[in-house]
Structure formats: structure tokens, C-alpha cells
Amino acid sequence: QVQVVESGGGLVQEGGSLRLSCTASGLSLADYAVGWFRQAPGKEREGVSCVSPQYSKIYYADSVKGRFTISRDNAKNTFYLQMNSLKPEDTAMYYCAADRRTYGCSKQTSSYDYWGQGTQVTVSS
């Protein structure tokens, strides 16, 4: 059974940093496209960042470009989202997802096959 789990969320002041982790059981994340999404109250879930299988393509939403960095540790079957210079508008539930495609990565939620339960990020001003 596949399970995807996020962790690392919390409350941070504006300008601070957090590192989110995404780990999986039942699949090797390195063989999947992995995406980070977020959903604020009353808003649709949006793609924040994604990376293709074999790490050949990386995407960042314009709103986080230059502040967020996606990375991985294959030995731990874990992906990370390093979030720096956080803003109140980054406040949301953050989700990790895995897509079994063989190339590229998508910012569309419908492309993803496995989802975690989310981790809350709250940025205070």
C-alpha cells in the first residue's frame, strides 16, 4: 500500500524559513514526478513546485520563485521543500503528491496519483 506523508509545517514569522519533508512508502519517489501544492482557506489547490522523474525538470510557481527550493534525498526516499523569506500569503496547507509519469512534471492536481494528508504552514506578519 502506498503512503505519502508530509511533515515540517508550523508557525513562523514573516521572513522566516521552514523546510517541508515528503516521504513515501510503497514506492520510490525518485521514479515519480513529485509535486508540492498548497491550499489556502477558500482557495483552490495550486501547484507550488514540481520535479520530473530523474530530476531533469523543475518547476516553480512565479509566486515562490527565488524563495522556495525543491530537493531530494534518494537514500531516504524523501523530497524537501525549503521555504525562505516566507510571507503571510504563503499561509496554507501544503501537500506533496507523486505522479507516475515517465517524463516532465505537472502543476495540475489531476495529474497526480498519490497524495499526502498535508502539513499546515502559517506565516504571521
Mean pLDDT of 95-116: 96
Q: At residue 56, does pLDDT exceed 90? A: no
Place of cell 522556495: 68
Q: At residue 98, does pLDDT exceed 90? A: yes
Query: What is the rounded distance in angstroms from the CA atom of residue 113 to the CA atom of residue 124?
Result: 33
Task: Express as a percent the part of the chain with pLDDT over 90.
Answer: 94
Mean pLDDT of 56-78: 95
Q: At residue 122, does pLDDT exceed 90? A: yes
Mean pLDDT of the chain: 96
pLDDT band at 111 (very low <50, low <70, confident <90, very high): very high
pLDDT band at 55 (very low <50, low <70, confident <90, very high): confident
Residue 28 burial (CB count, 10 A): 11
Place of cell 507516475: 100
**C-alpha distance from residue 56 to each of 5, 33, 102, 112 (Å):** 23, 10, 11, 18
